[in-house]
Amino acid sequence: MIWLASLTVLLPFLAAFAGMLLGPRLTRLLGGRPTGGAPLRNGPALIACVPVAASLVLAAIVAFTVWRDPGARTGTLTTIDTGSVPIRVAFQVDGLSAVVALMVCCVALAVQVYSVAYMDDDRRYSSYAAFISMFTAAMLLVVFAGDLIVLYAGWEVMGVCSYFLIGHHWENRDNSRAAVKAFLVTRLGDVGFLIGILVLGVGAGTFSLGGVLAKAPQMPHTTVTAAALLLLAGVAGKSAQFPLHTWLPDAMAGPTPISALIHAATMVAAGVYVVARLYAVFAAAPAALTVLGVVAVVSMIGSALAALAQDDLKRVLAYSTISQLGVMAAGLAVGADTAAIFHLLTHGAFKALLFLSAGCVITVAGSTMLAHYGGLRRGMPVTFWSMTVGLAALVGVPPLSGWFSKDSVIEAAQHSAFHGGSVHASPPHPAVDLPAGVAWLVYLGLLLTVALTAAYATRAWLMTFFGEPRGTYEPREAPRTMAWTVAVLAVPAAILGFFGLGADELRPHVGSALLGLVLAALGAGAVYVIWNRDPAQDPAQALGRLRPVFARAFLIDELYAAAIVRPVWALARHVVAFDSRGVDAAVVGTARGARRLGGILRVPQNGNAQTYLTGLLAGVVVIVAGAVILR
């Protein structure tokens, strides 16, 4: 089992190097064009898709084996002696890692296949596909890691790959800035994440996941709480939660398939996955769960309001991702770790579907702006129905997948709120208590998010596919490779929720389900009524003076610019001025003084023999005269 998991990680890792080094050469051997062309003659595409498909098969075998015979399997490939706490290069396979790995491979394969058509004629497609393979391998390493240091290695490789993928079109200055912003913001959180790992490892005497989880209840409360809070810094950065969420909307500068990969199955899901993986640590630190709950509420409501006012379709989906990750974090805060992971899985399916469907729309319309769409359902039937399924799953329309998973989180939050903050985590995690106010805040925040989600999803759906066409392009279906990829993804987005019926905590509950449906209907109905008055107008205009505030995400970026960026720039300018006028001036002045002194000293050293002889004779005369006078 461990070797199957190792191969699952290794295949896309090898594909990354093979695609970069051998992809163009394989294209020439197959008689294909240097860029684009038939998929079967596209060397980088074959090297990218075939290993990921093989990893998907292996991940499916691993998941099926764990389903038939539940339990954790661990294996150590080697041990690195550090002189204190050893590092084990180890893998761990259990139900959580198996299902998440299966989802990662499914989305990665869909993105690779979709990209063959989407990135047609891109001269850097070979490096693009290679970085996706490396990204996939890094996420799988995070999922299967049995040691915190191994997990951190995959965590950081993902960050580097995201930098290159977001900035794929680096010749555009905005794209390169977005890549740098994503890299710096996530690295800021990763500083705390690394320190938290070190605190846990030193406190437990091991970096092994099993060892850390076993010793967490016996560790000093202060140590566990400090480690959990530090880990949350990395989680907030990687999963784009307040206040480190600002990089994600700007990451839309990358190609749309990259948005699907980052926003659905990999990078942003890693933070939620780590909290679920180390949930015993967080359960032993109620203060960390309280902070997580508050951060989740701010993230999911604030981002939902921002999504409601966006003009760019991809940014609507980006803020939606932040909001839905907040829903998962809220589930973790109230002890519903199983429901949170279930929502992570369903979100991976329908959000990948939504981003790839948006890519089809963008390819046809040549724009990401909602104002340039309208009436596309007639010319793009496959994309229309696929995106309709994705948006309905996002809203939580029964019986689509999002309805099952979101209802499970709401039910857990409702239980916690009605029982004074009591959190009954699933075994083997101990029960913890949240402050009653925080429990109610999470519950009410989830209910408000349901209504807001329905509102912005309905707005995007109506403005894209209904009304009169507002562009000069001809509506048509996207290339078949792209259209049928989204059609296939619509299937798991629709039916994945039924796979949770085997667990009691994942089954729908009448009270919370009906309440969620009523709120979703109110949110969607309000937007429809506003839009129906004048389909040519944007329903977001009803927000009035609040719209610019929501569209700019409550001016958080401007606040950071004023409080951090500009002061750092000012400090940098003073440092440069001091360096040039002080340090450099001293160095240059010393050099000039040395040159002038050297110029004086070199006067007698001019290479003229007569001058040397004259000096010699003058010296003799002076010596003789001195001897005579002083005698």
Average pLDDT over residues 292-308: 96
pLDDT above 70 (res 397): yes
Average pLDDT over residues 76-90: 88
Please list the residues that pair with 422 across neighbouring strands.
433
Distances (CA, A) of 504 to 332, 412, 428: 17, 12, 16
Lowest mean pLDDT among 92-106, 142-156, 411-425, 599-613: 599-613
pLDDT above 70 (res 582): yes
Contact 119, 128 (CB under 8 A): yes
User: DSSP code of 126?
Assistant: H
pLDDT above 80 (res 103): yes
Residue 120 has a pLDDT of: 81
Lowest mean pLDDT among 18-27, 123-132, 303-312, 466-475: 18-27
Lowest mean pLDDT among 119-123, 180-184, 430-434, 452-456: 430-434
pLDDT above 80 (res 603): no
- Main-chain phi, psi angles of 423, to 5 degrees: -120, 115
pLDDT above 80 (res 139): yes
d(CA 41, CA 120): 13
Residue 40 has a pLDDT of: 60
pLDDT above 90 (res 403): yes
Count other C-beta atoms under 10 Å from residue 418's C-beta: 13
Strand 73-80 and strand 87-93: pairing? antiparallel
Q: At what angle are helices 148-166 and 221-238 packed, to 10 degrees?
A: 20
Average pLDDT over residues 41-68: 89
Burial 494-513 (b: 16+ CB within 10 A, else e): bebbebbeeeebbebbeebb
CA-wise closest residue to 251 among 190, 305, 329, 312 = 312
Residue 121 has a pLDDT of: 77
d(CA 233, CA 266): 18
Please give the single-letter amino acid code of residue 158.
M
pLDDT above 90 (res 395): yes
Q: What is the pLDDT of residues 505-538, one digit of tens each?
A: 888 888 888 999 999 999 999 999 999 998 888 9
Residue 138 has a pLDDT of: 94
Which runs of consecutive H residues, i.e. helices, occur in 205-220?
Answer: 209-215
Contact 539, 531 (CB under 8 A): yes
- At 43, list the tokens: 């060397």
Residue 427 has a pLDDT of: 59
pLDDT above 90 (res 175): no
Contacts of 85 (CB under 8 A, 6+ apart): 201, 202, 205, 206, 207
Residue 597 has a pLDDT of: 82
Average pLDDT over residues 171-189: 90
Q: What is the pLDDT of residues 447-486, one digit of tens each?
A: 999 999 999 999 999 999 998 888 788 889 998 889 999 9
- At 144, list the tokens: 């299967």
Contact 489, 352 (CB under 8 A): yes
CA-wise closest residue to 102 among 8, 178, 193, 27 = 8
Confidence category of residue 361, pLDDT binned at 50, 70, 90: very high
CA-wise closest residue to 306 among 568, 540, 24 = 540
Furthest CA-CA distance within the chain = 124
Average pLDDT over residues 558-575: 91
Please give the single-letter amino acid code of residue 317.
L
- Percent of the residues in the chain that have a pLDDT greater than 70, as a whole number: 95
Residue 27 has a pLDDT of: 67
d(CA 51, CA 55): 6
- At 379, list the tokens: 């010319």
- Which one has a higher pLDDT value, 128 or 585? 128
CA-wise closest residue to 522 among 449, 466, 467, 460 = 449
Residue 448 has a pLDDT of: 97
Average pLDDT over residues 286-303: 95
User: For residue 364, with 0-12 CB atoms within 10 Å meaning exposed, 13-18 middle and 19 or more buried, which class applies?
Assistant: buried
Q: Dihedral angle at the C-alpha atoms of 84, 89, 95, 97, nearest 10 degrees? A: 110
SS3 542: helix
pLDDT above 90 (res 554): yes
- Main-chain phi, psi angles of 358, to 5 degrees: -60, -35
- Which one has a higher pLDDT value, 584 or 423? 584
Lowest mean pLDDT among 24-33, 155-164, 333-342: 24-33
Contact 220, 182 (CB under 8 A): no
Average pLDDT over residues 597-612: 72
d(CA 361, CA 353): 12
Contact 282, 298 (CB under 8 A): no
Residue 81 has a pLDDT of: 87
pLDDT above 70 (res 130): yes
- At 70, list the tokens: 């539940």
Residue 30 has a pLDDT of: 65
- What is the rounded average pLDDT for all residues in the chain? 89
Confidence category of residue 386, pLDDT binned at 50, 70, 90: very high
Please give the single-letter amino acid code of residue 572.
A
Q: What is the pLDDT of residues 363-378, one digit of tens each?
A: 999 899 999 998 899 8
Count other C-beta atoms under 10 Å from residue 428's C-beta: 9
DSSP run (H or E) holding 432: strand 432-433
Please give the single-letter amino acid code of residue 174.
D
- Percent of the residues in the chain that have a pLDDT greater than 90, as a whole number: 62
Q: What is the pLDDT of residues 197-255, one digit of tens each?
A: 999 999 999 999 999 999 988 899 999 999 999 999 999 999 999 999 999 999 888 88
